[in-house]
Amino acid sequence: MIFGSVKRPRLCIFISLKDIYVQAVDDKKGNTIVSADLKEAKAKNNIEGAMKLGKLTAKKCLEKKISVVVFDRGGRKYHGKVKSFADGAKEGGLKF
């Protein structure tokens, strides 16, 4: 089981048929620190959109002084949109 804290929150990704949702969670307090989705990133539900969402999420995390996260893929394999999102977040400055 993946567990996050204030210094290293859990970055969860959920991919539906129409959208991709992401949130950074402090599991000790049960709080969502940062959240984003494709509508906020003004992107489509494809690999390029996932990369754009990753960069937006990294920007929002860095504004909250979060630079290191634990990546929770939600049971999905590390390829396609999940990999593209992770690459965008890493380009944006997050460390996994």
pLDDT digits 0-9 by tens, 31-82:
999 999 999 999 999 999 999 999 999 999 999 999 999 999 999 999 999 9
Cα gap 29→25, rounded to integer Å = 9
Least confident of 14-18, 26-30, 79-83: 26-30
What pLDDT is attached to residue 6?
A: 79
Q: How many CB atoms lie within 10 A of CB 47?
A: 15
Average pLDDT over residues 9-38: 95
Q: Contact at 8 Å (CB) between 15 and 76?
A: yes
Q: Which tokens hold the place of 13?
A: 């990704």
Look at residue 1 and tell me whether its pLDDT is greater than 90: no
Nearest to 61 by CA among 9, 19, 15, 21: 9
Cα gap 54→82, rounded to integer Å = 9
Q: CATH for 10-92, among 3.40.50.620, 1.10.287.180, 3.30.420.100, 3.40.50.150?
A: 3.30.420.100
What pLDDT is attached to residue 3?
A: 83
Helix axes 81-92, 47-63, angle to 10 degrees: 40
Q: Contact at 8 Å (CB) between 14 and 50?
A: no
- The amino acid present at 15, given as its one-letter code, is I
